Structure 1
Amino acid sequence: MPITAPTALPTVRHSSAFRGRLGQDARSGHYAVPHRYRLHLSTADPDGLRLAIGHSLLGLDASCPVTLLPAVPDAPDGSHTALRPLYEASAHRYSGPAPAPVLSDAWSGRIVSTHAPDILRDLDLFPRAGGDPLRPCGWESTVDAVERLCAEGIEQAAQRAGRADEDPAGRAAALEVLLDTLSRLERRLAEDEYLAGGRLTAADIDLWVSLVQLDTVHRCHLDASAVHRITGFTALWSYARRLAAHPAFGTHLDLDGIARRHHGHCQGLEAAGAAVQILDWAAHAAKQG
């Protein structure tokens, strides 16, 4: 079953001040040489969690080290004070926020990119002893479709469905987009173990993190009947449970950090769905290995 993205909602997941890319060789300026770059991320942030999982699946600990940041940024604008020098070195008189994630270049002391999807794509370029590519040849369109599907059909739809300032018709429409998206993914996962090429790819990273966010963050603002409908997608949640037990996924799951980050910046109202947990993420992650 081919996966296509919905067109009902605009794509607004990533806001980036810097969007450099790694190339294949020295002529590109930034190229994927070991020990030159560093990832700065928080696994309580969904983009940071995606990058941490991809980094682990590719086995890049030696060639591209990671600096873990606190779950809750230490500045009101969402900045991490530890990242401020990198931002200021990368743009003259930079006065904007300094959020994570960041891919930095140790040779120049500057930022390459703050755009998580590009960073995840570029991690595939690093030389490594093992680990299959996250975007296998011939499956790029499927991986891209799942990325957009998760952003629009799960994350944005769930946000709108739980927003207190959204009119009832808008919330209902967003919930239907969410349920339709989950239904399409349910059908796919009833047929195949993974979303693309019969193995773990960036598509699975995107979906798993979106499901984590749906259960640990967005569910808190949905009514109980909506959450009960969401729990009915058994193949989808079985898949989420199975990946939680995978070391590259469950190891990075910071449930306490996600909760603190959510409560630190969320201004929405808690709804009855907050009491209806879908998965016991901690228990499933503990079974990994």
Structure 2
Amino acid sequence: MTTQAPAYASPADVAAYGPYGPGRTDRPGPLYPFQGRITADGSSGHPAEPGRYHLYASFTCPWAQRAVIVRDLAGLRDVVSVSYVDDDRDGRGWAFRERRGPDPVNGFTLLSEAYDATEPGYPGHISVPVLWDRRTSRIVSNDFARIPFDLGTAFAEWATTDLYPPDLRDEIESLDEEIARDLAQGVRQVAGAATQEEYERRRAAVAAALDRYDARLAGRRYLFGERLTESDVQLWVFLVRYDLLHNPLARITRRPLTSYPHLWAYARDLYRIPAFRETTDFAALRLTAGPAHPGDGPVRIAVEPHQADWDEAHGREALAGRSTGALSAPGK
């Protein structure tokens, strides 16, 4: 019996295919047009069912990592499958290559094939995460903001951990919006600042947000005290990229994450949990090009990538305890 070889895309080739973005991300209309939802009762047309859905993710994308961490923390590894696209892109978009493995569901070589299968001739942004329905062979959603919520709530029947407890749900959504605005969007605004005044103002705002979260975590183990929630995931995927990618890219501050005592210990504490550690590949988080900002814009500070010791002891055990087996640290 012969086994068919996995299908892979050819290596990323910007010279041949151009860079990713032009003609895809600059089109009119929504960037994330597939807005389907998974619901426990199936009222959305996509009922929560074990084995039905597949998550296409990337080690480089914070929003994709957020979705996979939520899946893993919730205890859904055997309920919703996941696979990874390659780290590198050209004008064809995300692709499946040997480094991250093949597409185990459809045998696609390019993620654009999933988009075309859902909307023939789809011309827009090829993004991750993507939630795929095996039964209908279509994309349910590429709405990165809502996929983690559906994974964390609709599959409650099979979940072992609730990252969106009902009594905190409104506060979690509000804090998620704040983290996205002040940190994720803030980095892009610093990188794109066109004047010295704008650059100084925006980088000061990001630095102030980091100080604020550092202070919030001074006397509590997680953002909402003893309870690990999705907001911790939202903040962590930013923190793990800060020293290697965000700060050297946008040139925000000379202070590395290690200089924020509570944030840095908090980040290492979460890194001990398998869902965070096993979805992180530091090689995929490195700056691969020059800082992404106008060359004739403001004078920017010099910031070099900083590789810290994420296995250093965090010392936060006294702040709270973890009793859920799914959150236990690796044996080391």
When normalised by structure 1's length, the TM-score is 0.83
How do 1:159-174 and structure 2 match up within 5 A? 159-163=188-192, 166-174=194-202
Over 3 Å counting, the alpha-carbon distance change for 1:229 and 1:111 in structure 2 is: closer
Question: Which amino acid in structure 1 is aligned with residue 261 of structure 2?
Answer: T
CA distance in 1, matches of 2:170, 2:118: 33
Contact 2:88 2:94 in 1 (8 A): no
Contact 1:33 1:127 in 2 (8 A): no
Question: Which amino acid in structure 1 is aligned with residue 93 of structure 2?
Answer: G
SS at match of 1:38: strand
Question: What is aligned with 1:274?
Answer: 304
CA distance in 2, matches of 1:72, 1:283: 30
Deviations 1:33-55 (A, max 9, x none): 11111001012111111111111
Equivalent residue for 1:104, pick from 128, 132, 139: 132
Question: What is aligned with 1:16?
Answer: 32
Question: What is aligned with 1:258?
Answer: 285
Question: Which amino acid in structure 2 is aligned with residue 200 of structure 1?
Answer: L
CA distance in 2, matches of 1:222, 1:119: 28
CA distance in 1, matches of 2:80, 2:256: 42
Larger-gyration structure (1/2): 2
Contact 1:58 1:131 in 2 (8 A): yes
Question: Which amino acid in structure 1 is aligned with residue 166 of structure 2?
Answer: C
Identity of aligned residues (%): 29
1:113 is aligned to 2:141: yes
SS at match of 2:46: coil
Identify unmatched segments of 5+ residues in structure 1: 1-13
SS at match of 2:187: helix
Identify unmatched segments of 5+ residues in structure 2: 1-29, 96-108, 315-328
Deviations 1:1-47 (A, max 9, x none): xxxxxxxxxxxxx9412111112223431111111110010121111
SS at match of 1:142: helix
Contact 1:221 1:274 in 2 (8 A): no
CA distance in 2, matches of 1:243, 1:228: 21
- More helix as a share of residues: 1
Question: What is aligned with 1:57?
Answer: 73
CA distance in 2, matches of 1:66, 1:265: 31
Question: Which amino acid in structure 1 is aligned with residue 184 of structure 2?
Answer: E
CA distance in 2, matches of 1:273, 1:21: 41
1:79, CA displacement in angstroms?
3.7
Contact 1:32 1:127 in 2 (8 A): no
CA distance in 2, matches of 1:196, 1:109: 39
How do 1:215-254 and structure 2 match up within 5 A? 215-221=243-249, 226-228=253-255, 231-254=258-281
How do 1:25-64 and structure 2 match up within 5 A? 25-64=41-80
The number of equivalent residue pairs is 269
Over 3 Å counting, the alpha-carbon distance change for 1:101 and 1:264 in structure 2 is: farther
Contact 1:160 1:166 in 2 (8 A): no
After superposition, the CA RMSD in angstroms is 2.7
Contact 1:154 1:214 in 2 (8 A): no
1:135 is aligned to 2:164: yes
* Greater RCO (Cα-Cα under 8 Å, separation 6 or more): 1
Over 3 Å counting, the alpha-carbon distance change for 1:88 and 1:57 in structure 2 is: same
